[in-house]
Amino acid sequence: MIPLNLTGAGQSVGFSVPHWRPAPHPPRESIAGRFCKLEALDPDRHARPLWEANCLETERRMWTYLPYGPFDSFESYRAFMQERWMGDDPLFYAIIDLKSDRPVGLAAYLRIDRPNGVIEVGHLAFSPLLQRTPAATEAMYLMMARAFALGYRRYEWKCDSLNAPSRAAAERLGFKFEGVFRQHVVVKGRNRDTSWYAIIDSDWPNLKISFERWLDPENFNSAGQQRRRLAELRLAEALPVDFRA
């Protein structure tokens, strides 16, 4: 338990963070894993293969809860990418499947709050080539690991409260549910209640161990199927760790 701090007037205040410095902005350098790597988004290299991978999802369900898309043509997709996804916040990465050396999805850091050490992951657009694969989990681990290595204190995930797959993914990855912002935004002319999730720095050491055990080659059989689920490994590492004491 984190001890309470009291002012001279006897009021409770948050624990001291005496050596805190603003976290640096995430770099554009690639991050490599075993199943995938993340590359800073480049329309010249990534737009066409991403478009082709996305087109494999003929029902276009991947765009329902995003504030943009679906796109009717490659030209409109690439133009939107060039106009909206090339800044520093959100900072987009293409997810490259190492086996095929092909871009198969997108993810971004956004709402990057360096002074408070808060960063969000979002704009997740996973093509059918990435969905429900070890690379999808590893991509989220790699982004999470970079954020905490840079010194961020809080890593956020937000989604439409009606987006059941996104809520399930957040919980599987170890994010803790923090509540719902009712009538938070209007997206594509519809109301969105937003579910908030987060991982904080004191959650990370045990989560990191769980991810590394899940990603270990020994956790996959010859067919590439997992032997132990990530949720199972998270429970095995669930003893609380307080690094503020």
The predicted-structure confidence for 54-95, as pLDDT tens digits, reads as follows 999 999 999 999 999 999 999 999 999 999 999 999 999 999
Question: Does residue 182 belong to any structural domain of this protein?
Answer: yes
Length of the chain: 245
Question: CA angle 157-201-162, nearest 5°?
Answer: 15
Question: Does residue 17 belong to any structural domain of this protein?
Answer: no
Evaluate whether 122 touches 90 at the Cβ level (below 8 Å).
yes
Q: Which residue has the higher pLDDT, 1 or 51?
A: 51
What's the CATH code of the domain at 231?
Answer: 3.40.630.30
pLDDT for the residue numbered 243: 44
Instruction: Using pLDDT thresholds of 50, 70 and 90, give the confidence band for residue 238.
Output: low
The predicted-structure confidence for 138-194, as pLDDT tens digits, reads as follows 999 999 999 999 999 999 999 999 999 999 999 999 999 999 999 999 999 999 999
Question: Does residue 62 belong to any structural domain of this protein?
Answer: yes
Domain range for 103 is 22-236
Percent above pLDDT 90 for the chain: 86
Question: Does residue 9 belong to any structural domain of this protein?
Answer: no
Evaluate whether 42 touches 94 at the Cβ level (below 8 Å).
yes
Whether the link from the prior residue into 3 is cis, omega within 30° of 0, is no
Per the prediction, the chain carries an average pLDDT of 94
Residue written as tokens 């409770």? 12
Amino acid residing at 69: G
Could you give the number of structural domains in the chain? Answer: 1
Question: Does residue 13 belong to any structural domain of this protein?
Answer: no
pLDDT for the residue numbered 4: 66
Question: Does residue 32 belong to any structural domain of this protein?
Answer: yes
Question: Does residue 207 belong to any structural domain of this protein?
Answer: yes
pLDDT for the residue numbered 23: 97
Model confidence pTM above 0.85:
yes
Question: Does residue 219 belong to any structural domain of this protein?
Answer: yes
